[in-house]
Structure 1
């Protein structure tokens, strides 16, 4: 019997998985996503700063693939009945590929959901864009790659505006000495100040109360730290980790439900060394390709191989004319080699365009 494959989530991982599954298995594939447009999530800081991004209708991306698209929201998964319950219908599956991604955690720190802005999706990035068009100082909370990209994009777009990056850790932690030096030069050039080693206790209408009764005043707070996943996997009874991500084996198959695979941010994926992969489209896309390969092998009666993955670099945009490409070892630890400036900006743009190109032509992805 030909299995019906249902893919939940049309982000970087889900789109690749659905198209490859249709092409390689010949089985009917249904892709479910709440929005009817594909979101280039790695460009949301650009949208927030006022840049125009093209619409990417999912149906256009699926033309000629045979994948059936349903624009609807998942509200429940019945693992026993192999059924996905949507707001408007139910879908039965023989194989489920779970790719619902992640979202910014706005529940752990009081006031974030009421007062902070995010760049996690189109709607929230658009809200921030509209607010930035008005006057006001900006505090970007989170010293990771997203926070750095947001702070530099805003500072470049709105020169002279007060922009601060607030982080609980050391600025540029995880980068090489050369990488950190370039970040320091860039922040100085753009006039971005840094507040390091502090913990935000809450967010209110005028800024950030900190642990220890201190506070930072800010008209606009952008929250870029902490991510969470949907509770759907846990509620369905799938094995999940402490963060709610589906626990998978080396082939990206659920350790508790052999008819389910998980890819992208919603999956706890590990290298063959046991190291957990970080959340990024650079890891999610090849993982999705590998999951489909494993599924195809099993349908053909072959034993699939485990995922073999190594890191190459970390790419950080610093506005439209600068970037930092931090080259890393296989385990993602930095080496001293970096690429900076306009050449790095072109490199980063090539990476971002390649991530979208993989949505149109997933056979070009690595591990295919």
Structure 2
């Protein structure tokens, strides 16, 4: 019987594992370094002191036929088709590998970030930051992307005693429409967030950050959200990767160098037929994981798989618990002028986040919102 291993139990990995078990006759094993599923899109809420629901992976996998192994994959040997695990003396063998290793905060891009900055990229990092913020008086969030915006807004709303600054290398909300940018600026201003645009951070210190013009912005806490990177597992294994280390896949999400390996989620460099590389996001990972496993099932059944088809619909941004921004976009992710804002947008975002967990439980549900 075909042995299929899935590396990574995040949004894409769980969906891929459950669909592989449902649509193929393979024995499916999911390997993850934690026995809990992490709602990564809610970690800014955890940082602000809110309680997140407990989601054991075994509960999500119950009845699916997927075996869970709680361990860390240390190395992949694609020639021998083996995985080397941290807790096992002997490697485990596979016939097909689904690489869903996810992404991490890029704390190596600026001197001092790894030593002095906090991150919200993982559950443990978010808990560490939450505990640290109990006695904090000022916070500088570096990075004007969705993670940085949501983190700054959540902290400012939940901790009005906290001085919150958001520093971005470019224009705030540069991927948004003009209407979206205007609402974002109004919301952050209302929350008291000090926004610094076109300010490139060149160093992180224990007492704040240094900008390219040598100006020092003091803060007792620095939160780094300026970019993500992927694990080096694929590169170290000799799989074809791009300059970011993301696994290069074909139009069916199969490795271009090793046809028995599939890539889903942030760790895979997925492109639309027009060549556009899809961004790291849950909105990308879920529907493409579904399509990848359909392609895999077709191949195993002797059918010709269909290429991935993907189009974006909107970007969701929470601005605290009572405000939000839904930016409707074209299929290529460029913004339309149409936006949804305020309390209704906050409810919309919450419905989407809850819907993601519903897809994790029932992965055949449509995920391309």
**TM norm structure 1:** 0.98
SS at match of 2:226: coil
C-alpha deviation, 1:88, in angstroms: 2.0
Q: CA deviation at 1:135?
A: 3.1
Counterparts of 1:1-368 in structure 2, within 5 Å, are: 2-89=1-88, 90-366=91-367
User: In 2, are the aligned partners of 1:285 and 1:365 still within 8 Å (CA)?
Assistant: no
Contact between 1:160 and 1:191, CA under 8 Å: does it hold in 2? Answer: no
Query: In the aligned structure 2, how far is the partner of 1:104 from the partner of 1:28?
Result: 33
CA deviation digits over 1:280-320, x for unaligned, max 9?
01110011111100000001111101001001000000000
Structure 2: distance between partners of 1:182 and 1:139? 21
Write the distance in 1 (CA, Å) between the matches of 2:286 and 2:192: 35
5+ residue gaps in structure 1? none
Whether the 8 Å contact between 2:2 and 2:25 is mirrored in structure 1 is: no
Q: Give the whole-Å Cα distance in 2 for the aligned partners of 1:213 and 1:193.
A: 19
Alignment check: 8 A CA contact 2:40 2:121 kept: yes
> Residues of 1 paired with 2:351 and 2:136: CA distance?
33
Aligned equivalents of 1:365, 1:131: Cα separation in 2: 39
> How far off is 1:46 after superposition?
0.3
Q: Secondary structure at the match of 1:181?
A: helix
List gaps (5 residues or longer) in structure 2. none
Residues 366 and 205 (structure 1 numbering): CA distance in 2 closer, same or farther, change over 3 Å?
Answer: closer
Deviations 1:6-34 (A, max 9, x none): 00000000000000000100210000000
In the TM superposition, residue 210 of structure 1 has moved relative to its aligned partner by 1.4
Residues 195-217 of structure 1 show CA distances to partners (whole Å, capped at 9, x for unaligned) of 11111111111000111221111
CA RMSD of aligned residues (A): 0.9
Output the CA distance in 2 between the equivalents of 1:324 and 1:208: 29
Q: Distance in 1 between matches of 2:175 and 2:56?
A: 37
For 1:356 and 1:118, the matched residues in 2 are separated by 23
